[in-house]
Structure 1
């Protein structure tokens, strides 16, 4: 991203159009891009799902919803607050208008056949015909996703001793790593791209070879969301069938709502996986993983293809989740809402910071 942006700026453009500029950036690169854009003198128009990034850069927010475009004179947090104010105002206008309409309709119904009131009745009928009705936005119900019950694991979810990982036996990306992850801990791994974060996630998930010892805790059950997780989906199945084959118990009746929170609405659930876009497949793979029982979740950049609402659903679910969570992510707001420990992967080693992403960046 740094190189692409640098090439772009060589032309000295008066306006930058950025489509999800934070995807695939590590936190260090994200901060660099953010600081650069803050100082940029030209205009910037961007699409992004990174709330912290938007809050720190933007001065105006444009919402596109139900075919309408609405402008807000502030950043994303301002937009969220102002949108709630406008929503409450619109609801009050709607309720007042409905009350008024009922009164008029009651009068019309009562005196419709009374000759002495016929002029008033006709007048009110014409008045009602001219009224512009206040319409409320169609909003989907809030999805409160709860993880299916999982086996209670031992006190230690994972123990790593003297872990070393090399490629071709010549270059060590990780060297003599020691780490204990207690049950119920929620940890974010951060570091520059290439530092070994994703490699470490694959080792924890049991799909990458290594030297040393990685011991999974008693009854610990790992589910892993990789950046290429979508490739494992069956292209011949529909979206709904993909979820149904993984669902168990009470969660089955909530599949449509869960899919809706991940942007699969209406007839979208009957689409074949093979015709979905890359982003749609990633969202489906994530939704499928979340409904499978597990007491240890490992994520590698889970928010890259999620919109704000889907990300909020995931964050709220992980906040309530009683199992162990390990995440690689560059999304500061997402990390802040979930983790209580940050582990930096740097120079083949790890360093532990207590707190969330904001605390880590201040240290």
Structure 2
């Protein structure tokens, strides 16, 4: 059992934990929640012995093996699969010991070494590592490539696979979905549900937490409160506690009334399509969870676009790709101001490529892309965080967009995104990923776009900011296309789902549960085809080969 007894932890002037007691039992799966900077990651450092408490004690069974994801970017010439295999420390030691014994002709040692190797299922280790890589989205042909050839996000996936490879009693995961797409998130969710050890999971993904955890440890005001049940259960219990405070209760009632008005409007126009009905259910659920978030520091809305041309953008029989090699072909899409589309598709199918084409970053290889003359695109992607000026403050970024605006108006606007007081004047350079993402979103909102193109907008955002973004997108009156691994976001804002697969874009007739089933069937079909293909002389599918090569280039891109 993991136990905290009257534990105190202070960092600088800030008290993170004050007289905290907590018990986590073997096999329990606990979600760790709370505002950014409240001490969640510091708890992991305490457990790993990197930090020492300022008072009280933290105890663990002495024989527990702890696994966690290394935060350092791996830089090694080892292959991807070797990097993952090294996560099983005992397997790696035995492998080297057997090799040394064979080299030194130490025959007397070999039987015992081989017996232990077999006892830890060593002969299947490479197969286990390959399955982890496959589940996290690595093309089979990339397993033997050097780690140094992969981009930063893919190296972090390798670190995650390495942690999962480690036989452990306690697994510590801090935002494991940040660098994953939806397919990999769904795979990881299933893997963690089956994990037999104790799990502590820091995450800002509601659906991910709901599917995995059986308790929630919530950080608030230098204390930790343990709630039984999943994240949805925690939200209900937390809302009931807040309602006992009169001021919080009054704010709750205003928030509920606001969402009820929106739900009533949406119910009147919602179609019978499965995704539209799924969205309606999600909105109705938001009426229940909103009271738990009345103290959120984030409040903003998208101003109405000044113009709404119809259609906003059309793609007519377009081929889209790189270096004259199409990744998508015969793409037809007409985006109207009413469009609210969630893009689905397997890893590497071309979702982000399609978004780049819609933005205008990637010219079509064939066909026509027809933007309206008054089209105003708001585009969010992770690489845009790097385009923020590190030597400028949030206020200066806004002033560059609107030099004539009054400073107080800009500061009031930034306050809705959590940039208050001196932080609105601070340089961006030391900002966290979440702070940079909030600023990038603020810049988009301020420019009043009539078409939003969002590629993984919730990466690095905490739960409160995610909810604020969802609520703002509910009332946004322009067109919307989003790629996201956050299923709660997709359910709450998308009226229709489109599938990118096998070089085509098509409407997906179903909801996200249907998509999960589609993925499983696709995976099963691929597994059945492999033995048949091994002995056949069927011709090479050149289009699929080009798509596979494009996916490899994407994984290896800087």
TM-score, scaled to structure 1: 0.79
SS where residue 85 of structure 1 aligns? Answer: helix
Q: Matches of residues 10-25 of structure 1 in structure 2 within 5 Å? A: 10-25=165-180
Q: Which residue of 2 aligns with 1:75?
A: 230
3-state SS of 1:325 partner: strand
- Counterparts in 2 of 1:279 and 1:146: CA distance versus 1, 3 Å: closer
Contact between 2:300 and 2:417, CA under 8 Å: does it hold in 1? no
Say if 1:140 and 1:65 are closer, same or farther in 2 by CA, change over 3 A. Answer: same
Residues 76 and 257 (structure 1), Cα distance of their counterparts in 2 relative to 1, 3 Å cut: farther
- Determine which of 71, 85, 99 is the counterpart of 2:240: 85
Aligned partners of 2:489 and 2:406: how far apart in 1?
A: 25
1:182 and 2:336 matched? yes
Cα distance in 1 between the residues matched to 2:514 and 2:413: 32
CA deviation profile, 1:200-225 (whole Å, cap 9, x unmatched): 11110111122121111352221211
Query: 1:153–1:217: 8 Å Cα contact kept in structure 2?
Result: no
Residues 93-148 of structure 1: CA deviation (Å, up to 9, x unaligned): x9xxxxxxxxxxxxxxxxxxxxxxxxxxxxxxxxxxxxxxxxxxx97467542222
**Which residue is 2:393 aligned to?**
238
Partner of 1:157: 312
Cα separation, 2, equivalents of 1:285 and 1:220: 20
CA displacement at 1:28 relative to structure 2? 1.6
Gaps of 5+ in 2: 1-132, 137-157, 250-292, 519-558
Deviating more after overlay: 244-253 vs 225-234: 244-253
Using structure 2 for the length normalisation, give the TM-score. Answer: 0.53
Cα distance in 2 for partners of 1:56, 1:25 equals 17
Give 1:313 deviation, angstroms.
Answer: 1.0
Moved more, 260-269 or 198-207: 260-269
Deviations 1:243-296 (A, max 9, x none): 344369999766545544534344222211223233322221111111112111
Q: Aligned residue pairs: how many? A: 320
Kindly indicate whether residue 364 of structure 2 is the aligned counterpart of residue 210 of structure 1: yes
In structure 1, distance between residues paired with 2:451 and 2:406: 19
> Are the aligned partners of 2:355 and 2:455 in contact in 1 as well (CA < 8 Å)?
yes
The CA deviation at 1:333 is: 0.2
Residue pair 1:191, 1:197 contacting (<8 A) in 2 also: yes
In structure 2, C-alpha distance between the alignment counterparts of 1:30 and 1:57, rounded to whole Å: 12
Task: Go from structure 1 to structure 2 and tell me whether the alpha carbon gap of 1:198 and 1:67 turns closer, same or farther (over 3 Å shift).
Answer: same
Q: 1:250 to 1:144 in 2, by over 3 A?
A: farther
Residue 62 (structure 1) shift:
1.2
Separation of aligned partners in 1, 2:514 and 2:223: 39
Quick one: distance in 2 between partners of 1:185 and 1:251? 34
Shift of 1:360: 4.2
With over 3 angstroms needed to count, the CA separation of the structure-2 counterparts of 1:15 and 1:263, relative to structure 1, is farther
Counterpart-to-counterpart distance in 1, 2:294 and 2:491 = 27
Residue aligned with 2:498, SS: strand
Residues 151-187 of structure 1: per-residue CA shift (max 9 Å, x gap): 3323212211121123333x43112211222222111
Indicate the residue corresponding to 2:211 in structure 1: 56
Task: Determine if contact 1:340/1:354 at 8 Å carries over to the other structure.
Answer: no
Query: Using the alignment, how far apart are the partners of 2:307 and 2:433 within structure 1?
Result: 35
After superposition, the CA RMSD in angstroms is 2.9
Residue pairs, 1:330-349, within 5 angstroms:
330-349=485-504
Find the partner of 1:166 among 314, 317, 321: 321
The range that moved more, 321-330 or 157-166, is 157-166
Give me the whole-angstrom Cα distance separating, in 2, the residues matched to 1:141 and 1:195.
Answer: 37
Q: Is the 8 A contact 1:164 1:175 kept in 2?
A: yes
Question: CA separation in 1, counterparts of 2:296 and 2:176?
Answer: 30
CA distance in 2, matches of 1:324, 1:355: 21
User: CA 1:14 to 1:303, structure 2 compared with 1: closer, same or farther past 3 Å?
Assistant: same
> What is the Cα deviation at residue 357 of structure 1?
3.5
Looking at both structures, which has the greater relative contact order when contacts are Cα pairs under 8 Å and sequence separation is at least 6? 1
Say if 1:141 and 1:8 are closer, same or farther in 2 by CA, change over 3 A: closer
